[in-house]
């Protein structure tokens, strides 16, 4: 859906969030290559600075629209949490450099899963890094997703322990 003046006129809020998990397929290595944004070990990968430029340009277009919430990225996973934090901070710096004061939603690692917020599931826990994010206008929140089935994927029919799954975030 194209989000434009009629939508804003109705009072709708627009949540912008790239949905590529902070990685993408290399067009030259298709179909099974994954490039992680900010991974300096591969000179062909998009850099953290490239990511900052992208979100800065997006913020320039919407910086005066109070009905826009900036989402940094949807569900990063399978990368160091320190890299997620580095990319998040670069995005915050870029967005705020445009004078945008709207809410910024920063993702946690491991699919932004609440169940892994303090555990990490093979990476450093997001709770060890994401609370360090800062900017000239705070207005930053951590984005948490939680699927309540037994595989944390949202594809199962059974919900298990829905309240205790979020203990790492809520306690």
Residue-wise pLDDT for 128-161, tens only, equals: 987 788 887 789 998 988 888 888 888 888 887 6
- Evaluate if residue 165 carries a pLDDT over 80: no
pLDDT band at residue 1, thresholds of 50, 70 and 90? very low
- Closest to 108 measured CA to CA, from 89, 86, 85, 91: 85
- The reported pLDDT for the residue numbered 31 is 59
Alpha helices, DSSP H, located in 63-137: 81-96
In the prediction, which pLDDT does 80 show? 93
Q: CA nearest 49: which of 111, 117, 115, 97?
A: 97
pLDDT per residue as tens digits for the range 92-140: 999 999 999 999 999 999 888 888 888 866 778 999 987 788 887 789 9
Q: What is the pLDDT of residue 52?
A: 97
**Which residue reads 């300096």 in tokens?**
40
For the chain, what is the total number of helices (H) and then of strands (E)? 4, 6
Burial of residue 164 (CB within 10 Å: 0-12, 13-18, 19+) is: exposed
Residue 169: pLDDT over 90: no
Residues 22, 26: Cα–Cα separation, whole Å = 13
- Distance between CA 111 and CA 48 in Å, rounded? 19
Question: Could you state, in order of their start, the residue ranges of all structural domains in the chain?
Answer: 5-146
Q: Which fold has domain 5-146?
A: TIM Barrel (3.20.20)
Stretch (H or E) spanning 56: helix 48-62
Rounded distance between C-alpha atoms, residue 107 and residue 50, angstroms: 18
Furthest C-alpha separation in the chain: 47
Compare 17 and 128 and report the one with higher pLDDT: 128
pLDDT, tens digit, 9 for 90 and up, residues 34-54: 789 999 888 878 899 999 999
pLDDT at 42 (0 to 100): 81
pTM of the model: 0.86
């Amino acid at each position: 859906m194209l989000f434009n003046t009629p939508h804003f006129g109705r009072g709708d809020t627009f949540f912008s969030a790239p949905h590529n998990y902070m990685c993408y397929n290399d067009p030259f290595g298709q179909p099974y290559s994954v490039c992680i944004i900010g991974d300096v070990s591969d000179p062909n990968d998009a850099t953290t600075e490239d990511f900052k430029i992208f979100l800065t340009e997006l913020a320039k277009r919407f910086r005066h629209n109070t009905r826009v919430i900036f989402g940094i990225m949807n569900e990063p996973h399978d990368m160091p949490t320190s890299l997620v934090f580095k990319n998040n901070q670069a995005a915050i710096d870029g967005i705020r450099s445009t004078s945008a004061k709207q809410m910024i939603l920063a993702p946690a690692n491991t699919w932004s899963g609440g169940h892994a917020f303090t555990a990490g599931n093979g990476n450093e826990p997001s709770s060890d890094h994401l609370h360090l994010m800062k900017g000239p206008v705070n207005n930053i929140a951590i984005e948490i997703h939680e699927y309540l089935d037994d595989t944390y994927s949202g594809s199962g029919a059974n919900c298990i322990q829905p309240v205790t799954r979020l203990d790492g975030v809520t306690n």
